[in-house]
Chain A
Amino acid sequence: MNREILVVNSVTVDYPGVRALDAVSLAFRTGEIHAIVGENGAGKSTMMKVLSGVIRPTSGTIMLKGMQRQFTRPSDAIRAGIAMVHQELHLVGTLNVAENVLLGREPTRFLGVAVDHQRQHVVAGALLRQLGSDFDLSTLACDLSIAQQQFVEIAKCLASDARVLIFDEPTAVLGEVEANRLFVVMRRLRDEGRCVIFISHHLDEVVSVADRITVLRDGKLVQAFARNTNGILQSEDGSIADEGRLAHAMVGHELSSIYPEKVYATCTSPAIQLANFGAKNKSHGISFSVAAGEILGIAGLVGSGRTETAEAIVGIRPCEGVLRVEGREIRFSNPRAAMRSGVAYVSEDRKNRGLHVTLSSICNMMLPSLDKVSRLGGIMIDSQTEQRMTKKWIDAFQIRCTRPMQAISSLSGGNQQKFALARWLEARPKVLIIDEPTRGVDVGARGEIYRIIAQLAREGLACIVISSELPEVIGIAHRVIVMREGTIAGEIPSERLALKDCQERIVRIASGLSEESVASK
């Protein structure tokens, strides 16, 4: 009864320096909820981008209802009946619910000139009722709660008569009650014979909702589970899917040798100390301290409040609680003040926040330390000094660029990241917070960045490394704290980082499973 509707045939996607998907073959069936799980960077979102026409695969084919299709842009996929419910919602806030549901396909009167408001209401109302939700159709989208907005988004997909619906981490923004309502809707869509693709980090949800689970790791398909006639999720070799097994499959076990040897700090006085600290409305009750020469890793799911906490430390966001730098209680009103006291933050979002992509490398390099190269009472920039300084870092970090005036956007991710790091080191900080140090960085440059971080710590810098990539946090940090829902959910001390089950343990803490179940196994 369940036909294969969408078949992916050995699809490979290459990004510069990274193979995001490696010959993955998958079949999605009608009347099924198909979950895809994997760590960050495992290739889930790349797969979804291929399916929804955002990117074209380097090689491999996609078959829809038995016909080979090639989507060149998202509208192709939508027209073919594949709709994506994005994590970020795209409603027009100034239009009401009915108008949003039928945006772009309004029923019309008078030869297509006037919108038929009455029919618009009727049609939109019918679609929303199909989802089991009943809110006022004339409410403006900006007055809806996030969960309600999501329902409107789903109704939009139904309006385009999508046969394949992709939910990209839909529960990340929902509370438990709302999430359960969403699962009811997903099941209803499945029972209507649609194909529902579900991406989530919450393994408990996946196990309870999905009819089929595919696990990706490093761009490869590593394991597949399907619900058998007894309703048990089982893989071909007979192993039964539970959260632990999924976590195990996601993580794999090889810790590669690109991580430098850990040299533990001898100093114990904290360079930075947080007590009951938090970013307003984003995180709370966070207490930890980092000594000079120590590398603290912060793990956790996207949205667990890691970045927000870091931004609150350097004064980008309002904060609460106590922050001490070298024993002195302090609060920063902006990154500039933080920098003066020796705290630097390297943003995760290199393209929009960390660097000025339209400007040259030298401009980017010198922005935080323009004071240092200014002459004539801080008016004029001494271009020789700034070139010398930039050259110094290019040599020290072996940055590959043809000339410092080159636009930074023309460099590879790794070289950009080295500049993003170097610019703060020129200001000689005592505490360095690095958010996602190797996002969008190819494998070769990763190792170099790890070595740089380890070297900085050896020289006495207190480092905080925030990362969604578990091997990275485990490989580089001396100690790891795991955040969940805005606060610290657990800590892994240095002696346990080397243990085999450490990665699994972090996944469990981050996704809200109890730590004891690891120990009891």
Chain B
Amino acid sequence: MNPRILSMLRASQRALEMWGVIVAFVILFAVSTFNQGFDFLNPENFRALLNSNAPVGILAVGMTLVIISAGIDLSVGSMVVLAAAIGMTTMNSLIDSGTSELNAVMLGGAATIFAGTVAGTFNGVLVVFGRIAPFIATLGGLAAFRSMSLAIADAGEIRSQSATMFSALGRGGVPIPGLLNAAGKPLTLSYSTVIFFVVAIIAQWFLSRSRFGRQLVAVGANETAARYAGISVSWVRLRVYSIMGLLAGIAALVQSSRMNSVSTSQLGLGSELDAIAAVVIGGTTLRGGFGRVWGTVVGVLILGMITNILTISGVSPYWQGAVKGAVIVLAVLVQRSSRE
């Protein structure tokens, strides 16, 4: 083939790899608008879309960092339910013992985040000091953390003893000036969405500007070379799993306060796959060493929009998994072909 055409093809392939996720987003957006018109463009729809995807989004941000370090965390869904169960049990028992509701809610929230961080650090210890492959170590967590939370609540639901205060976080939001909903009240951007975006911005900053981010990329790209360069690989690894746990704790807090209860058999079920899917669609490579948080955020939105379109167009929820699966495989195909 003509070398100029060939180099152009190669360049466009590289561009597709870099910006493909944006292209996909725009196409999907256009298709949705064309199909559903106002139903889709309705700000209320966007609010709901963001709101319902925020918890998975928070997990996906952490998953991006883990995958960049050439690891994986399959236990995030189970970490969410365990953290939520521990947090809510703590809060309820504090309220029962007569602590003021505010203090109980604060302490319960702190317990949720703390429990997540501990669980994540535990994964990190297994990977770093136990020298267990991340896939296996966190597969253990996937089973164990879920089972522990089922045991805490006898596989049932833990209902919050806080009437309104705890759920304020999950249901409230920041009013957006100038936008009104159908009932004529100011439209709000839910706190969970705000938390998602803040977490994503901080993570992207850390990834591209901090020493830790640089070390993370180095460890993921080539662990041996990183060790030869004097980087403490264990310490970097351990931290990334702790951060994953911390974010799982935050996601747990967001989820449980929205429901104002914790269903130990349902909460977080399958979120690890959604999170990994979002990361992959966003252009982070599964073999590690390269990735971006902003891509993951767009990936979360793409996954959310697909569900949204399918739901609005009345496609059976049973089929939605198939469509999502196809999108994930397509994303990996595009990434792979341009790396050859």
Which residues in A have some Cβ–Cβ distance to B below 8 Å? Answer: 316, 334-336, 338-339, 345, 347, 352-359, 363, 366-368, 370-371, 374, 378-381, 383, 423
Cα A379 to Cα B210 with chains together (Å): 5
Contact B227 A334, beta carbon cutoff 8 Å:
yes
Cα A28 to Cα B234 with chains together (Å): 53
Contact A353 B225, beta carbon cutoff 8 Å:
yes
Contact A423 B222, beta carbon cutoff 8 Å:
no
Contact A367 B231, beta carbon cutoff 8 Å:
yes
Known: A363-B218, A366-B214. A380 touches B225 (CB 8 A): no
CB-contact partner of A358 in B210, B214, B228, B289, under 8 A: B289
CB-contact partner of B232 in A336, A353, A366, A379, under 8 A: A336
- Identify the 8 closest CB pairs spanning chains A and B, nearest first: A336-B230, A367-B229, A335-B230, A370-B211, A353-B228, A368-B230, A339-B230, A356-B221
Contact A381 B221, beta carbon cutoff 8 Å:
no
- With a cutoff of 8 Å between Cβ atoms, the chain B residues found around residue A334 in the complex are 227, 230, 232
Cα A231 to Cα B171 with chains together (Å): 95
Task: Count how many pairs of residues, one from A and one from B, have CB atoms less than 8 Å apart in the complex.
Answer: 72
- With a cutoff of 8 Å between Cβ atoms, the chain A residues found around residue B229 in the complex are 335, 356, 367-368, 423
CB-contact partner of B225 in A339, A345, A355, A383, under 8 A: A355
Contact A356 B218, beta carbon cutoff 8 Å:
yes
Q: B8 → chain A, closest Cβ, in Å?
A: 19
- With a cutoff of 8 Å between Cβ atoms, the chain A residues found around residue B212 in the complex are 379
The answer to whether the Cβ of B209 comes within 8 Å of any Cβ in the partner chain is yes
Known: A334-B230, A335-B229, A358-B290. A381 touches B211 (CB 8 A): yes
Cα A267 to Cα B228 with chains together (Å): 30
From A316, A358, A359, A423, residue with most partner B Cβ within 10 Å: A358
Residue of A nearest to B205 (CB): A380
Contact A354 B228, beta carbon cutoff 8 Å:
yes
Q: Which secondary structure characterizes the binding site on chain B?
A: helix
Q: A422 → chain B, closest Cβ, in Å?
A: 13
Cα A355 to Cα B290 with chains together (Å): 16
Contact B214 A367, beta carbon cutoff 8 Å:
yes
- With a cutoff of 8 Å between Cβ atoms, the chain B residues found around residue A367 in the complex are 214-215, 218, 226, 229-231
Contact B211 A363, beta carbon cutoff 8 Å:
no
Subset of 25 A-B contacts with CB under 8 Å = A316-B227, A335-B229, A336-B232, A352-B222, A354-B225, A354-B228, A356-B229, A356-B289, A358-B222, A358-B290, A359-B221, A359-B289, A363-B214, A367-B214, A367-B215, A367-B229, A368-B230, A371-B211, A379-B210, A379-B211, A379-B212, A381-B209, A381-B210, A381-B214, A423-B229
The answer to whether the Cβ of B115 comes within 8 Å of any Cβ in the partner chain is no
Cα A353 to Cα B218 with chains together (Å): 11
In the complex, which residues 59-106 of chain B have their Cβ closer than 8 Å to any Cβ of chain A?
none
CB-contact partner of A383 in B209, B215, B217, B232, under 8 A: B209
The answer to whether the Cβ of B45 comes within 8 Å of any Cβ in the partner chain is no
Contact B218 A316, beta carbon cutoff 8 Å:
no
Cα A423 to Cα B226 with chains together (Å): 13
Contact A380 B210, beta carbon cutoff 8 Å:
yes
Known: A352-B222, A358-B289, A359-B221. A370 touches B227 (CB 8 A): no
CB-contact partner of B224 in A339, A352, A371, under 8 A: A352
In the complex, which residues 177-236 of chain B have their Cβ closer than 8 Å to any Cβ of chain A?
209-212, 214-215, 217-218, 221-222, 224-232
CB-contact partner of B227 in A335, A357, A366, A380, under 8 A: A335
Q: A350 → chain B, closest Cβ, in Å?
A: 9
- With a cutoff of 8 Å between Cβ atoms, the chain B residues found around residue A363 in the complex are 214, 217-218
- With a cutoff of 8 Å between Cβ atoms, the chain A residues found around residue B211 in the complex are 370-371, 374, 378-381
Contact B224 A353, beta carbon cutoff 8 Å:
yes
Cα A352 to Cα B231 with chains together (Å): 15
Q: A219 → chain B, closest Cβ, in Å?
A: 29
Q: B280 → chain A, closest Cβ, in Å?
A: 18
Cα A486 to Cα B224 with chains together (Å): 24
Residue of A nearest to B232 (CB): A336
- With a cutoff of 8 Å between Cβ atoms, the chain A residues found around residue B209 in the complex are 380-381, 383
Q: Given A358-B289, A359-B217, A378-B211, 13 more contacts at CB 8 Å? A: A354-B225, A356-B218, A359-B289, A367-B218, A367-B230, A367-B231, A368-B229, A370-B211, A371-B211, A374-B211, A379-B210, A380-B211, A381-B214
